[in-house]
Amino acid sequence: MTMKAVVYTKYGPPEVLHVEEVVPPIPEDDELLIRVRAAEATKADCEMRGFNFQVKWFMPSLRLMLGLFKPRKRILGGYFAGEVEAIGKEVTRFNKGDSLFGSTKLRLGAYAEYMTLPQHYTLVRMPVNLTYAEAAAVPLGGLNALHFMRKAEIKSGEKVLVNGAGGSIGTFGVQIAKTMGAEVTAVDSGIKEEMLREIGADHFIDYTREDFTESEQSYDVIFSMVAKTPFKKCIKLLNRNGRYLLANPRVSDMLRSIMVSRFSDKQAMFAFAGETEEELNTLREMIEKGEIGPTVDKVYPMEEAVEAHRSVETEQRLGSIVITLT
């Protein structure tokens, strides 16, 4: 018996991806065998595929972990939605037939028709009002945005700016900030303005025409996904007790964050998301209540994974890109 998977055997451009017949995994006693229905094609997937990362400081350790000269893990995919095909004898959390969504962590493997994951991973039952493709677009953006918005402790009426608002994390950042009562300014390219206003942005700045860091407008919270955002300028834009949240910090930014938080009336935070079960359940509940939702731009079949990665890398996407494995 074989299954189809999107694999790559060398680092490089999107064209290194191809569909191949591989042997399906067998679950251990504490694992689930999951029939993957959809997986988000993420920027991290693209960075691992090309071994070209936006933030460079962790590249040496990643090279050792992922493979010095060629990838050790041939199947990408960290965030998915699917159904339980079989369970190991020690599994108690889920049953065969359950529809799940969640994270594979660094185990990866979601670009395949089947994968195995331990039951203790960040896996919860899918929102009842989403398709598999929509659910696959939730964990990455939702978990990271919820993590940072909670860190910011946003209060009703505060002004929040989301830089890089049109991607997976940013779209959820806009929506979650709005549920907290914030007045939200979204920063991204002009083609994303209509979409971002539809999901709740009060104001929009086209970064190709205007540099928000040169504005006189101040904010209580700045949430940035863009690694090259000028640190000092963002700190200057913060009101007293303002918070600067860095989703892709450089080493210099991390060091400056410690100094700012310790010696000023402002805070800079870069703590990475824990991607917990509690957070994913919170997202599920918010989605089922209609408070937030995924923003899916395009859905590609696995045979068009190359095009999916190209769409992610152009940064012209309106939200998330999803690959279906059915």
What integer pLDDT is reported at residue 326 of this predicted model?
80
Average pLDDT over residues 83-109: 96
* Helix orientation angle between 139-152 and 168-179, rounded to the nearest 10 degrees: 40
Inform me whether the pLDDT recorded for 56 exceeds 70.
no
Between strands 267-269 and 238-246, the pairing is: parallel
Inform me whether the pLDDT recorded for 273 exceeds 90.
no
Type of residue found at 180: M
Output the average pLDDT for the chain. Answer: 94
Inform me whether the pLDDT recorded for 61 exceeds 90.
no
Whether the CB-CB separation of 41 and 310 falls below 8 Å is answered with: no
Confidence of residue 55 (pLDDT cuts 50, 70, 90): low
End-to-end CA distance of the chain: 17
Confidence of residue 63 (pLDDT cuts 50, 70, 90): low
CA 37/CA 131 separation, integer angstroms:
10
Inform me whether the pLDDT recorded for 278 exceeds 90.
yes
| Among 19-28, 80-89, 241-250, the least confident range | 241-250
Type of residue found at 146: L
| Residues forming CATH 3.40.50.720 domain(s) in the chain | 140-269
Query: Residue 177: enclosing H or E segment and its boundaries?
Result: helix 168-179
CA 153/CA 243 separation, integer angstroms:
9
Inform me whether the pLDDT recorded for 287 exceeds 60.
yes
Could you tell me the fold of the domain covering 140-269? Rossmann fold (3.40.50)
Average pLDDT over residues 197-203: 98
What integer pLDDT is reported at residue 272 of this predicted model?
84
What integer pLDDT is reported at residue 315 of this predicted model?
81
Average pLDDT over residues 75-85: 98
Domain 3-138+294-324 listed as CATH 3.90.180.10: yes
| Residues forming CATH 3.90.180.10 domain(s) in the chain | 3-138+294-324
Check residues 27 and 52 and name the one with the higher pLDDT.
Answer: 27
CA 284/CA 255 separation, integer angstroms:
35
CA 279/CA 34 separation, integer angstroms:
21
Confidence of residue 104 (pLDDT cuts 50, 70, 90): very high
Inform me whether the pLDDT recorded for 59 exceeds 60.
no
Check residues 221 and 66 and name the one with the higher pLDDT.
Answer: 221
**Percentage, residues of the chain above pLDDT 90:** 84
Q: Kindly tell me the burial class for residue 33, based on how many C-beta atoms sit within 10 Å of its own C-beta (0-12, 13-18, 19 or more).
A: buried
Inform me whether the pLDDT recorded for 251 exceeds 90.
no
* Helix orientation angle between 139-152 and 277-288, rounded to the nearest 10 degrees: 100
Residue 258 neighbours by CB under 8 Å, 6+ apart: none
Check residues 64 and 238 and name the one with the higher pLDDT.
Answer: 238
What integer pLDDT is reported at residue 37 of this predicted model?
98
